[in-house]
């Protein structure tokens, strides 16, 4: 039996069951890895029909699994994309070679010279560089907001952007990494509507949902146009591949897929297979990582050598951020930061003493990772900007994994003795 109608099931069920029919592969319960760069045409007429369907979006083969060449599409990509769309509650999805390939593709597909873009800060370093450096070389202006829960702050950034050119994109990453600053998705959609009334063109609202993932935060349900996920992180969840996904309206996704044929940055067959396999257990892994994270965050909050913990689960009642959290998030995630008293020498001693938590960038894997933000992920950010953004010299980012929480707490406790 295959699950045919996504509307009948919850995201956790769709992650296990949707997008693959065993009848398509000799009854195999699991999809095969389709390692083929090219696909046979059963007849010359079929060859013509399949090209007509692909390039003109008409003809008899639209919507069926008819392939030409793996860069245009392949069976593993079909399974991954239909599953991702179903999980996100979107009309369609497109998968890319990495999260940054997905971000770059949105920029190249929807921003033109003379346009402007608004995004929040802090934002993933690669996205900051994409809009601040790369797209500005193509003549696109950028403006930023620093409080994505404050209508006046976001409106001011949108007005400043419109003064420079037609606003094409409103980009939000929420929660931000590593400060856990939240962006109000309903506010982003409302401001896109306001901008549409002013400039006659509605900007697309793009949300990077990597940090909480598709089960704990559901951007499409808030009316955003495109939901982007670095599948490298929680969705794949084992720190062993790179991939990115974008879910959204069919017309937008169709444009991204068509252009991907030219850019050649699709998700390859083996990676697509690995991601589909990993999505099956993603909700369970994320739940466990989140419950571990709460235990570790509580331990750190109460530790005398810790100056503070930036963890969504500790947002105070009555604050705008807490109101957004309650409306928008189903969990506090498992990536957060804590701030230590002390200088580089003590901090490095503590890091070098860890036996279980591994010293590495990235997040969302089965293993717990830790890094000192100032000297790794934010190395290239000038110190005053970094500190203004909430990342002190003592900030450590933790991505909590699936180990037993008592072992994680014991490891951190023994290492903190070095501070």
Q: Of 167, 83, 154, nearest to 120 (Cα)?
A: 154
Closest CB to ligand PLP among residues 98, 149 = 98
User: Where do contacts with ligand PLP occur on this chain (CB under 6 A)?
Assistant: 98-100, 124, 126, 173, 177, 208, 210-211, 230, 232-233, 242, 244
DSSP letters along 316-384, please?
A: PTTSHHHHHHHHHBSS--SEEEEEESS-HHHHHHHHHH-SSSEE-S---SSS-EEEEGGGTTTTTS-HH
- Shortest distance (Å) from residue 9 CB to ligand PLP: 27
Closest CB to ligand PLP among residues 100, 140 = 100
**CB-based closest residue to ligand PLP:** 99
- Shortest distance (Å) from residue 179 CB to ligand PLP: 12
Provide φ and ψ at 375, rounded to 5°.
-105, 5
| Integer angstrom CA distances of residue 239 from 46, 281, 367 | 41, 15, 8
Question: CA-to-CA distance for 60 and 52, rounded, in angstroms?
Answer: 9
Closest CB to ligand PLP among residues 66, 399 = 399
- Shortest distance (Å) from residue 395 CB to ligand PLP: 16
Closest CB to ligand PLP among residues 292, 377 = 377
Structural contact between residues 335 and 399, judged by C-beta atoms closer than 8 angstroms: yes
Q: Is 406 helix (H, G, I), strand (E, B) or coil?
A: helix
Question: CA-to-CA distance for 172 and 44, rounded, in angstroms?
Answer: 47
Closest CB to ligand PLP among residues 66, 328 = 328
- Shortest distance (Å) from residue 129 CB to ligand PLP: 11
- Shortest distance (Å) from residue 211 CB to ligand PLP: 6
Closest CB to ligand PLP among residues 75, 175 = 175
- Shortest distance (Å) from residue 257 CB to ligand PLP: 19
Q: What DSSP character marks residue 131?
A: I
């Amino acid at each position: 039996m295959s699950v045919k109608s996504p509307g009948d099931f919850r995201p956790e069920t769709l992650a296990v069951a949707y997008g693959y029919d065993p009848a398509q592969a000799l009854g195999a319960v699991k999809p095969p890895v389709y390692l083929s760069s090219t696909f046979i045409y059963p007849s010359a007429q079929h060859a013509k029909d399949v090209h007509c369907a692909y390039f003109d979006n008409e003809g008899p083969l639209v919507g069926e699994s008819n392939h030409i060449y793996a860069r245009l599409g392949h069976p593993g990509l079909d399974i991954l994309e239909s599953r991702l769309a179903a999980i996100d509650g979107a009309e369609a999805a497109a998968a890319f070679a990495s999260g940054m390939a997905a971000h770059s593709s949105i920029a190249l597909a929807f921003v033109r010279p003379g346009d402007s873009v608004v995004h929040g800060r802090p934002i993933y370093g690669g996205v900051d560089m994409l809009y601040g450096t790369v797209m500005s070389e193509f003549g696109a202006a950028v403006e930023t907001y620093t409080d994505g829960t404050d209508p006046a702050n976001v409106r001011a950034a949108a007005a400043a952007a419109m003064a420079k050119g037609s606003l094409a994109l409103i980009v939000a990453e929420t929660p931000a990494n590593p400060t856990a600053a939240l962006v109000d998705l309903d506010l982003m959609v409302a401001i896109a509507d306001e901008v549409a009334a002013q400039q006659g063109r509605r900007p697309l609202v793009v949300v990077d949902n990597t940090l909480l993932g598709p089960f704990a935060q559901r951007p499409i349900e808030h009316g955003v146009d495109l939901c982007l996920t670095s599948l490298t992180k929680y969705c794949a969840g084992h720190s062993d591949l790179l991939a990115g996904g974008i879910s959204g309206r069919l017309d937008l996704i169709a444009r991204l897929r068509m252009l991907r044929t030219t850019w050649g940055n699709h998700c390859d067959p083996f990676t697509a297979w690995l991601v589909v396999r990993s999505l099956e257990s993603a909700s369970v892994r994320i739940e466990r990582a989140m419950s571990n994270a709460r235990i570790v965050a509580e331990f750190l909050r109460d530790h005398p050598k810790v100056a503070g913990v930036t963890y969504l689960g500790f947002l105070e009642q009555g604050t705008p951020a807490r109101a957004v959290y309650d409306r928008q998030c189903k969990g506090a995630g498992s990536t957060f930061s804590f701030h230590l008293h002390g200088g580089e020498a003590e901090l490095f001693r503590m890091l070098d003493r860890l036996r279980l938590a591994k010293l590495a960038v990235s997040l969302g894997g089965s293993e717990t990772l830790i890094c000192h933000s100032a000297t790794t992920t934010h190395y290239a950010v000038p110190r005053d900007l970094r500190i203004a953004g909430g990342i002190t010299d003592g900030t450590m980012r933790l991505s909590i994994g699936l180990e037993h929480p008592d072992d994680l707490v014991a490891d951190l406790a023994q290492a903190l003795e070095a501070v």
